[in-house]
Each structure stands twice: as structure tokens, then as C-alpha cells.
Amino acid sequence: MEKLTEEEKIKTALEFIRTRTDFVPRISVVLGSGLGAFADNIETEAVVNYNDIPFFPMSTVEGHKGRFVFGNIDGVPLVLMQGRVHYYEGYTMQETVLPIRLMRAMGSEILLLTNASGGVNKSFAAGDMMLIEDHISSLVPSPLIGANYPAGTRFPDMSHVYDKELSKKVLDCADKLGIKMQRGVYIQLTGPNFETPAEVRMCRTLGADAVGMSTTTEAMAAVHCGFRVCGISCITNAAAGVTDKPLAHSDVQETADKNAPRFNALIKECVKAF
């Protein structure tokens, strides 16, 4: 059987989506760990489960519902990913960015990436929000390896992954809501293990302020296929070695849940501002 190209997989997945809804989003939002409740804020038009979509990778992480939610906030059409897929779940890097390319194929123009991350910067505290100004992706495989996905050029420029105009709007929205926003560089490692103290020191030396297991590769694929991108991290814990406390996913989930109301208010304001 002939192997399908990424373009053919996206086309087939989109054709299936169109059997469930003809909704065209302007904004796409990827909801990170503990942040999926944001979907309760929108006027829902349709819901499509990942496991129904041809070629779509399944999210297996606890707390990730694994579905697209289509709807509106104050008349702004958007699609939400309630749960992302990660490289550490056993997927190829190309499979992890299929959802990003699919949302772009739906007609979406802006991508807001969110995540729960560990604070590498010693001045960060659990519960802080960080605007992602840049990222380091060199320690994970590029999602652009292999045949070029034809929506983008073979050698895409990554000088300005995170759109400056959108980033300014995020800061303005945070200021309006009285939310203090940290700003910094996010680094992606493979996971699923948390980092060792030595690895966190390495990340800090490289210039990272927050560390996690997603996002940078999604941002790369998004820029490649024509999205305007911005990103926000919820700092859910101090990374290993910053404190003596052992790290656990339950703590990440608990901190994200605790800060969900502030985060949801910020995302809602950003969607309206974009």
C-alpha cells in the first residue's frame, strides 16, 4: 500500500471534519495541561473527538480530553484543542504537529499556544504567567524533517516565531486584568521524565526561563504553514534543583487548576483583542 503524504493526510482529516461542521475558525488555541476548562467559556458550535478523525494522533495524557471544540467568544470564531499530543507518547514529531497543520487548513489565521511549564528562571514562582518571546528547540527533533510540507518553504525563517503585535496585545490584556506577566524564553525537552538539576542548570545556561515537553515544535510547524503565533506558559512549579521539592505531574495539574480562572480570563481577553 502506498504511503500517504502529510498533505494527503491533512486533506483526508479535513474532509472528515467538514462532515461534522463547516465552521471556519479565525483563531486556534492549544490548551495545555490543566487548562482545558477554557472550553467552558465559548458558545459551542461543534465538538469533534480526535479518535474519530482519520490519521489523527490520540492524546493519552491524564487531564487531556482529546477533542476539537469549535465556537465563538463575543463573535470571534475559534477552535480549541482540548489536549495536545506529545513526542513522548510515542508519536513521530511529524504526527505531533498534524493538528497544527489541520487547524491552518481549516482556515485559521492565528495560533495561541499555551502550556504548563517548569520555572528555570529563579525569579519565577508557581502560578506566574510567562509570555513566550522566543524558544529553544535544538534538543528535540525538528517537525520539518522529511519531505517538505508544501504549505511552507523548505528552509523557513525562524527569526520572529512569536508575532510581536500579538505578543504586545497579550501584555496589554494582562495589564488590563491586573495580571503580572513574566517574559522569557521557553525550551522544549522530550520528556516524559522531569529534568535533572544538572539539566535545568544547562537550560538556564542556554538562556531558557521555562522548560516543558511541547510547544516549540508546534510553533515551528505553525510558522512554516503560515500561522501568526503567540504563546503563554503557566509556570506550575520550580524546575528541579531550584527547590528541594520532588516533582510530580499531580502538582503540575493542581497548580494549573488553581490558576485556571486567571488564565481563562486572560485567554478570553486575548481572543477578543486579536
- Show me where the domains of the chain are located: 6-273
With vertex at residue 21, the alpha carbon angle to CA 17 and CA 22, rounded to the nearest 5 degrees, is 100
- pLDDT number for residue 59: 74
Residue 242: pLDDT band with limits 50, 70, 90? low
User: Which of the pair, 263 or 156, is modelled with greater confidence?
Assistant: 156
Compute the distance between CA of residue 46 and CA of residue 43 in angstroms, rounded to an integer.
9
- Considering the entire predicted model, what is its pTM? 0.93
What value does the CA radius of gyration of the chain take, rounded to a whole number of Å? 18
CA 183 → CA 104, 128, 174, 239, 254, distances in Å? 27, 10, 12, 17, 23
Residue 142: pLDDT band with limits 50, 70, 90? very high
- pLDDT number for residue 247: 66
Examine the pLDDT at 236 and tell me if it is beyond 90: no
Residue 221: pLDDT band with limits 50, 70, 90? very high
Instruction: Find the range with the poorest average confidence among 54-68, 115-129, 260-274.
Output: 54-68
Q: Which CATH number fits the domain 6-273, given the four candidates 3.40.190.10, 3.40.50.1580, 1.10.579.10, 3.40.50.300? A: 3.40.50.1580
Task: Give the mean pLDDT of 238-260.
Answer: 69
- pLDDT number for residue 241: 55
Examine the pLDDT at 49 and tell me if it is beyond 60: yes
Residue 1: pLDDT band with limits 50, 70, 90? very low
Task: Give the mean pLDDT of 144-171.
Answer: 97
User: Which of the pair, 85 or 169, is modelled with greater confidence?
Assistant: 169
Task: Give the mean pLDDT of 170-174.
Answer: 98
Compute the distance between CA of residue 168 and CA of residue 177 in angstroms, rounded to an integer.
14
- pLDDT number for residue 37: 80
Compute the distance between CA of residue 192 and CA of residue 107 in angstroms, rounded to an integer.
32
- pLDDT number for residue 41: 80
- pLDDT tens for 54-79 read 999 987 766 557 899 999 999 999 99
